[in-house]
A and B are shown apart, each in its own frame.
Chain A
Amino acid sequence: MRIRYILGAIVIIAVIAVILFYPLSILFYEDLPYLPFLKRAFYILLFSCFLCLYRIARGPTAADRAVTLDMLGILIVGFCAIMGISTGRSWYIDIGIAWALQSFIATLALAKFLEGKSFDD
C-alpha cells in the first residue's frame, strides 16, 4: 500500500531531474528568430503535462484517470507540433498523428472497460 507512493515519487523526481538537467539546447539547435518564444511554449506545455500528472496521481475514481489520460494524449500532439517547428525536423508531426490515433483507440477501449462490459459486445 505504502510502497506504490514511494515508487511513484521516485519516478516523478527522476522525470523532473531529467528535464532540469537535460541539455535542451540539443533540441533547439536551429538559429530561428523566434526561438525564445518557442522555448517558453515548450515549458508552458510541460507545466500543463505536470498538472495532468497531478490529477492522475490524485484522482478519486478511475474515470478521472481515464479522462486525464485522454487529455494528456491530446497535449502531447501539440507538444510534437511545437517540437516540429522548433527543431525543423518535420517527422515530429508524424509522431503526433500516430499518437492521436492510438490515444483515440485506447480511450474508446478504456470507456468500454469502465462500463463493465467485455470488449466484444
Chain B
Amino acid sequence: MISTLGLVFISIGLFFDFVGCLGLVRLPDVYNRLQASTKCITLGTCSILFGAFLMHGLVAAGMKALLCMVFLALTSPVSAHALARAAHKSGVKLWEKSVVDKYEEDGN
C-alpha cells in the first residue's frame, strides 16, 4: 500500500519534471524559461524525493531523502531569484511581446 503511494508520488514528479523541461525548450525568453522551469522542476524533484522516502521507509536512506527534499525546497527559490536578478542586471532584453517590466520602472 505505502509503496504504491510512493509510486504515485514518483509519477507526479516525473510529469512535472518533463513539463518543466518542455517549457525550458519551448518558451521564448530567459525570464519565461526561468518562471516555467524553476517551479515545475523543484516541485517534481521534491515529489520524487518524497516518493523515495515513502518507499524506503523510516530508515537512514528515507530520512536522507526527506532532508534533501527540505534542502531543495529552501534553496531553489533563492538561486532562481539570484539568477533572474543577474540576468536583468547583465542587460538581457525581454521578449518583444512582454507587457510590463516593474523592475526597470523602479529605477534599478
Q: A residues bordering B, Cβ < 8 Å?
A: 34, 37, 41, 44-45, 47-48, 51-52, 54-55, 61-64, 66-68, 70-71, 74-75, 77-78, 81-82, 84-85, 90, 93-94, 96-97, 100-101, 104, 107-108, 110-112, 114-116
Distance in Å from the Cβ of B89 to the closest Cβ of chain A? Answer: 5
Chain B's closest residue to A38 (CB) is: B10
Q: Are B64 and A93 in contact (CB under 8 A)?
A: yes
Q: B residues bordering A, Cβ < 8 Å?
A: 3, 7, 10, 13-14, 17-18, 20-22, 24-25, 30, 33-34, 37-38, 41-42, 44-45, 48-49, 51-52, 55-56, 59-61, 64-65, 67-68, 71-72, 75-76, 78-80, 82-83, 85-87, 89-90, 92
B contact residues around A66 at 8 Å (CB): 83, 86-87
For the residues of B in contact with A, the DSSP-based class is helix
Distance in Å from the Cβ of B57 to the closest Cβ of chain A? Answer: 11
Assembled-state Cα–Cα distance A52/B75 (Å): 20
Report if A48-B18 is in contact (Cβ < 8 Å); known contacts: A78-B48, A84-B61. Answer: yes
Q: Are A111 and B22 in contact (CB under 8 A)?
A: no
Assembled-state Cα–Cα distance A78/B67 (Å): 13
Distance in Å from the Cβ of A31 to the closest Cβ of chain B? Answer: 15
Distance in Å from the Cβ of B24 to the closest Cβ of chain A? Answer: 5
Which of A45, A67, A70, A84: most chain B Cβ within 10 A?
A67
Q: Are A61 and B60 in contact (CB under 8 A)?
A: no
Report if A93-B48 is in contact (Cβ < 8 Å); known contacts: A78-B13, A115-B90. Answer: no
A contact residues around B41 at 8 Å (CB): 71, 74-75
The number of inter-chain residue pairs (CB within 8 angstroms) is 150
Distance in Å from the Cβ of A53 to the closest Cβ of chain B? Answer: 10
Q: Are A97 and B67 in contact (CB under 8 A)?
A: yes
Chain A's closest residue to B46 (CB) is: A78
Query: A-B pairs with the 10 shortest C-beta distances?
Result: A90-B61, A63-B87, A111-B82, A114-B86, A111-B86, A78-B45, A48-B21, A107-B79, A51-B21, A81-B52
Report if A54-B61 is in contact (Cβ < 8 Å); known contacts: A85-B55, A96-B68, A111-B83. Answer: no
Report if A77-B82 is in contact (Cβ < 8 Å); known contacts: A82-B10, A115-B89. Answer: no
